């Protein structure tokens, strides 16, 4: 895999080259240090590529606090998990069993 060198003597890897190298790294059983050394990549460069890859692959989950008015629960409550299951309560008397129901579900 050839890379170009800039005027400063630093190697420049194309996006395609980075993708190929990262795929090879993930398939290898090598440490980051060993892989970088064998492929002529700086260890800090490989670390940066892996960090950027990880950030792109899993966007941060964002939460927003919701303040509800202080009133008796006369409405249904719905809990939806990232795994796709949904728990719906029709009235406030079912709230006591919610913890047991949630513990029984796969997480």
Cα gap 98→104, rounded to integer Å: 10
- With 0.75 as the threshold, say if the pTM is over it: no
Q: Would you call 65 helix, strand, or coil by DSSP?
A: coil
Using one digit for the tens of pLDDT, what is the confidence trace for 37-69? 999 999 999 999 999 988 777 666 777 777 777
User: Is pLDDT of 25 > 80?
Assistant: yes
Backbone φ and ψ for 91, nearest 5 degrees, come out as: -150, 170
Name the residue with higher pLDDT: 82 or 19.
19
Which pLDDT score, from 0 to 100, does residue 88 have? Answer: 78
Residue 85 pLDDT class (50, 70, 90 cuts):
confident
Average pLDDT score over the chain: 81
């Amino acid at each position: 895999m050839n890379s170009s060198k800039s005027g400063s003597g630093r190697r420049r890897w194309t996006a395609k080259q980075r993708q190929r190298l990262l795929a090879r790294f993930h398939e290898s059983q090598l440490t980051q240090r060993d892989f970088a050394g064998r492929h002529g990549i700086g260890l800090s460069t490989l670390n940066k590529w892996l960090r950027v890859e990880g950030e792109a692959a899993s966007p941060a989950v964002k939460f927003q606090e919701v303040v509800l008015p202080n009133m008796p629960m006369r409405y249904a409550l719905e809990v939806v998990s990232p795994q796709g299951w949904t728990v719906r309560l029709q009235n406030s008397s079912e709230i006591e069993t919610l913890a047991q129901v949630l513990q029984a579900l796969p997480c």
